[in-house]
Amino acid sequence: MLNVISNVPFLVIGIIGLILCHYGNYFKLSLQGEVWGWTFFYIGVAAVGFGSSYYHLQPNDARLVWDRLPMTVAFTSLVAIFIMERIDEQKGTASIIPLLLAGIISILYWRFFDDLRPYAVVQFVPCIALPLMAILLPPMYTHSTYWLWAAAFYLLAKILEAEDKPVYELTHHVVSGHTLKHLSAAVVPVFLTLMLAKRTIETERVSLFMVWRSSWTKVRKDEIRVQSSEYHVVSNQE
């Protein structure tokens, strides 16, 4: 039953995100493509609340389609959003429908041909590509680190899913890893919603990698300067 109840946060944050996307443009989305991309994302998140609950009430392959489909909509929407923000606005907008269709087709292919490979590509490639893009490509907006926090919680969710039984035993059969996986995964749209609420247009588009590199270089220079000063003090004392 906890595997069902733990899906409620998806429904809540999905509905909140949809409202904030369209009510007075609270997120201040500057591109029409972004409005569509984030709308599909939050629709996918809200639908996870229904689809995953429906599956866990009576697990079987027919119901699993409705568990995986909303997640695929959310994933593919994020890829399109990233293309808009980090590569090209028009290409990102044009990619929304093809990416959504690719995700849906991967689900249908699995259902009819019992082959998970296309679905695995649709699900796991973004898990690798999006954090890398967040680090390496200059952002259009501030608060890019929220993408990495979201990715970290999704990674935690996958770990909890893989360690389902050990977590269940560790908690003395109170809560399973799969239930905690739902809660951890629900934190992902929470971070992205906070990012949308806080961010502004980035005036100086510098990638996180370059920011980190600059900070590391400055730290190293400060360390060398301190060591040099200490050396001169010791030398003068001698």
- Please report where in the chains the tokens 């409005």 appear, as a residue: 35
Give the pLDDT score at 232: 56
Give the pLDDT score at 220: 75
* Residue spans per domain, the chain: 2-205, 206-238
Q: Is residue 179 scored above 80 in pLDDT?
A: yes
Give the pLDDT score at 6: 92
Give the pLDDT score at 173: 86
Which pLDDT tens digit goes with each residue over 87-128?
Answer: 898 999 999 999 999 999 999 999 999 898 999 888 888 888
Residue 140: DSSP 8-state: S
Give the pLDDT score at 230: 57
**30 vs 171, residue with greater confidence:** 171
Least confident window among 5-19, 66-80, 191-205, 215-229: 215-229
Residues 123, 78 contacting (CB under 8 angstroms): no
Q: For 11, how many CA atoms within 13 A lie in the half-sphere containing its CB?
A: 11
Cα 76 from Cα 119, distance rounded (Å): 11
Residues 153, 184 contacting (CB under 8 angstroms): yes
Listed in sequence order, the DSSP H helices in the chain are 2-5, 8-22, 32-57, 61-86, 89-113, 117-136, 145-162, 164-170, 177-198, 208-237
Give the pLDDT score at 227: 64
Predicted structure pTM score = 0.89
CATH number of 2-205: 1.20.1070
Residues 39, 78 contacting (CB under 8 angstroms): no
Which pLDDT tens digit goes with each residue over 181-215?
Answer: 999 999 999 999 999 999 998 888 888 888 888 88
Which pLDDT tens digit goes with each residue over 131-160?
Answer: 998 999 998 899 989 999 999 999 999 999
Mean pLDDT for the chain overall: 88
Q: Is residue 225 scored above 80 in pLDDT?
A: no
For residue 56, say whether it is annotated as part of any ligand binding site.
yes
Cα 210 from Cα 226, distance rounded (Å): 24
